[in-house]
Amino acid sequence: MRIVLVGPPGAGKGTQAQYIAKHFSVPHVSTGDLFRGNIDRETDLGKQVKGLLSAGELVPDEITNAMVENRLAEEDARGGFLLDGFPRNLGQADWLGDLLAGQGTALDVVVELQVPQEEIVKRLSGRRTCRSCGEAAHVVFNPPKTPGVCDNCGGELYQRDDDREDKVQRRLEVYAEQTAPIVGYYREKGLLVEVPATGEVEAVTQRALAAIKDRAGN
């Protein structure tokens, strides 16, 4: 099974990707993990990424594409994979299609996790992180026993800059500009399934699995 998972920030892609990949016994391939792994191993690509990120610059598609190609060539991904965080734009989507076609394969399904914008803002702007241990909390969904204090270690909980409401709105704007167009791209190809991603995590997983199996005919 070859799956792409898309959706806005705060849609729960990382969590759902783990469950879906486990169900189909395919590797969960996250671009964030690829970046970190290449940087940690000090590969040529990793050194380039580290330099770009340190300079506050975006990683160009050709570097991201090369990392994805290397990962999909590994033994565990030859029979299938779940891509999370890739493709992010139409250029990457075209490139991925060409890569797979050259291998005599193709994507089976593209899953779009759908969450109303106001729910995303509530999810992300309510997140709090412990300065001491990194434990996560949420003022609505997982409130600490004492406001502002980490349940795990007693450290101070703070709101990351990226989780401020204005920054969340900007992240959603960037998603709408860059990544949302690939939803239409895959819809035209008949690959897209839309999955409402509100409610309990397990319920979302079951909806996603049912949609994938229906689309793939399994």
Q: Would you call 112 helix, strand, or coil by DSSP?
A: strand
Annotated active-site residue 71? The verdict is no
| 21: pLDDT strictly greater than 80 | yes
Q: Would you call 114 helix, strand, or coil by DSSP?
A: strand
**Would you give the DSSP letter of residue 140?**
T
pLDDT digits (tens, 9 = 90+) for 182-205: 999 999 999 999 999 999 999 999
- The pTM assigned to this predicted structure is 0.87
What is the model's pLDDT at position 96? 98
Annotated active-site residue 215? The verdict is no
Which residues, at least 6 apart from 157, have a Cβ–Cβ distance to it below 8 Å? 128, 129, 130, 131, 137, 144, 148, 149, 150
> Chain-centre distance of CA 146, in angstroms?
31
Annotated active-site residue 88? The verdict is yes
| 117: pLDDT strictly greater than 60 | yes
Residues tagged in the binding site annotation for Zn(2+): 130, 133, 150, 153
Q: Of 2, 123, 127, 207, which residue is the catalytic one? A: 127
Q: Would you call 73 helix, strand, or coil by DSSP?
A: coil
Q: Of 41, 47, 131, 160, which residue is the catalytic one? A: 160
Enumerate the domain spans of the chain: 2-27+74-216
Annotated active-site residue 13? The verdict is yes
pLDDT digits (tens, 9 = 90+) for 61-99: 999 999 999 999 999 999 999 999 899 999 999 999 999
- Quote the CA–CA distance of 87 and 5 in Å, as a whole number: 9
Shortest CA distance to 159 belongs to which of 137, 143, 144? 137
Annotated active-site residue 160? The verdict is yes
Cβ-based neighbour number of residue 161 at 10 Å = 8
pLDDT digits (tens, 9 = 90+) for 120-178: 999 999 999 999 999 999 999 899 999 999 999 999 999 998 889 998 999 899 888 88
Which residues, at least 6 apart from 218, have a Cβ–Cβ distance to it below 8 Å? 1, 212
Torsion from C-alpha of 65, 67, 73, 79, nearest 10 degrees:
-80
| 218: pLDDT strictly greater than 80 | no
pLDDT band at 107 (very low <50, low <70, confident <90, very high): very high
> Is 2-27+74-216 a CATH 3.30.70.2190 domain?
no
What is the model's pLDDT at position 185? 96
What is the model's pLDDT at position 54? 87
Axis-axis angle for helices 61-72, 90-102 (nearest 10):
30
What is the model's pLDDT at position 180? 86
**Cis amide bond preceding 181, omega within 30:** no
Q: Of 2, 13, 71, 122, which residue is the catalytic one? A: 13
Cβ-based neighbour number of residue 136 at 10 Å = 13
Shortest CA distance to 61 belongs to which of 38, 103, 94, 28? 94
pLDDT digits (tens, 9 = 90+) for 175-188: 888 888 999 999 99
